[in-house]
Structure 1
């Protein structure tokens, strides 16, 4: 853990938990400054409301403003869980960031709200853009409009680490891809003394991109399908298991690639010590995440796993999204590290 603060940048409410939950919780538990910037409010998300996961909120699906307002409350509860208390994790929506202090004397080029671009599943675990993405979709926002706002946050908070998705957005969601691109551009703007961004330049933040070793992901999927508790859950709810041998989404990287990345190029974050915080945050996103639970024997309070085959260090728990496919909670999060923009070449 580097000295200084952490800033995580995500596309929608729930991404902060699913992609970087353990990182955020670990940083907060250590008493370090931690904040999240969310680029949209998830207006076009699906809503889970089933007999095995009744939320009573199916009416919100398709009602963008109402769903956005509800997901804001879910996000606040999730951040409180990750941080250990309300307010422990700072937060801003990107379109609410002002640029009125820029040396250009101008605000951002667009005052419109940044909206969820939507998505379509194009392969197991892989998404693409929705055909009917609105003109206000985040994926269509001019790059420097969004990046200048994020650069202002970077300059104000001066983090040691900025975390987001890898370049293909984890699984191809267009808002995730745009968020990665905006984050990279924002770090360049924040470090540039000539950029029209308020605040003093800051180029000392490392970029951490969330990835997963393919071997760990396949092992976690196999362990999930083999655990009696998981099998019982699937039988009762109609949820299915992912195929461990199917092509993996872009966030999965070959183990050899990560081993050969070089010293300090990959960071591993232990999930077990903060598992309760992460699962609590998943449950807070009830319209988007269902059946989040620890594997039998996973002891988050002690930071260990013991006692059963399910919790042998391969699998800490599980959850499912609106696609009704169970996913494993793995024992570690992994990040590819890029050196600070302002570091010597």
Structure 2
């Protein structure tokens, strides 16, 4: 790989996911000269307003799916600028998070209901166009059971394996096949991370928001996925935070993502974690670099 610019593609379900999952990592690599492309599968049109102080931008509405899509695009552009990354849309429609018992059906035409090949085709073409060495996405559970997150995992894995095959997803005049070298799953708030933050906050005499969450996850015996790769990103938490608040309709500046004081976070959990799902280059775990095995010493 000596002399070639490294490229990283991070595939996410909705605008704002790129700012809450691996954001400081993408900011770090972008700052180091890696070409970083965030791919957003849907427009986030069915996301609820989660920020009580949100005000609809002047000149915009927020009633229809089209209105919401336009606002989310503004937010995404600001977040991408904060992270220093490129960003592309796949153009699919948010499926929403069904709630109730029984769960209501998903809306017609949404991302999660599309046939897998139809949902994957534009991502395959984008992989061939951008030619990433490394891709990141969600684990098979989606990280949590949102239908778009699960479908994001499915299309990302399908694209990772299919993009290098000239017999699959053939597009006349399309980009040449390209085979990414590594695939990772993002890890979010692991139990180890929650406990470290919880204990540090209580030790500092602060009220921790994580006690009930830890108890709930412990009671449900949710299995922890393997962490293979920890990327040091403390110097890029500010860029992650700027990207988060750029999503003003979704992120409460006084809410969950900002509950842990940054000095405590840097002290107890200065990394972002990933799970190596597949590698076409020799590497050994644990790693501290998504490009381990891709970079070669000159």
| Shorter-chain TM-score range | 0.7 to 0.9
5 Å matches for 1:1-345?
A: 4-50=6-52, 54-57=53-56, 63-83=64-84, 89-95=85-91, 114-120=92-98, 131-195=104-168, 196-197=170-171, 198-212=174-188, 213-224=190-201, 228=205, 242-247=212-217, 254=224, 257-258=226-227, 266-290=228-252, 291=254, 293=258, 295-296=260-261, 298=263, 310-311=264-265, 313-314=267-268, 330-340=269-279
Distance 1:267 1:165, change over 3 A: same
Alpha-carbon distance in structure 2 between the residues aligned to 1:131 and 1:62: 21
Deviation track 1:173-192 (CA, whole Å, cap 9, x = no partner) reads 11000000001111122011
Instruction: Tell me how far apart the structure 1 counterparts of residues 120 and 276 of structure 2 sit (CA, whole Å).
Output: 20
TM-score, length of structure 1 as denominator length: 0.69
Residues 229 and 82 from structure 1, CA distance in 2 versus in 1: closer, same or farther, beyond 3 angstroms?
Answer: farther
What do residues 132-188 of structure 1 show as CA deviations (whole Å, max 9, x unaligned)? 421111101111112121011111111111111111100111100000000111112
The answer for the alignment partner of 1:110 in structure 2 is none
Is the 8 Å Cα contact of residues 154 and 202 (structure 1) preserved in structure 2? yes
Indicate the structure whose relative CO is greater, using CA pairs within 8 Å and at least 6 residues apart.
Answer: 2
For 1:202-225, what per-residue CA distance to the aligned partner results, in whole angstroms no more than 9, with x for missing partners? 113311101254322332244456
8 Å contact kept, 1:210–1:336:
yes
For residue 267 of structure 2, give the secondary structure of its aligned residue in structure 1: coil
Whether the aligned pair in 1 keeps the contact of 2:7 and 2:133 (CA below 8 Å) is: yes
| Cα distance, 1:247 vs structure 2 | 1.4
Relative to structure 1, is the Cα distance of residues 297 and 144 closer, same or farther in structure 2, using a 3 angstrom cutoff?
A: closer
Alpha carbons of 1:203 and 1:311: their partners in 2 closer, same or farther (altered >3 Å)?
closer
Unmatched segments (≥5 aa) in structure 2 = 283-298
Are the structure 2 counterparts of residues 45 and 311 from structure 1 closer, same or farther at C-alpha, using a change threshold of 3 Å? closer
Give 1:335 shift.
Answer: 0.9
In terms of fraction of residues, the more strand-rich structure is: 1
- Aligned equivalents of 1:46, 1:70: Cα separation in 2: 13
In structure 1, the gaps of 5 or more residues are: 84-88, 96-113, 123-127, 235-239, 259-265, 299-309, 315-329
SS at match of 1:163: strand
Q: Deviations over 1:222-275 (max 9, x none)?
A: 4456655656xx8xxxxx864322217x9x8648x44xxxxxxx2112231101
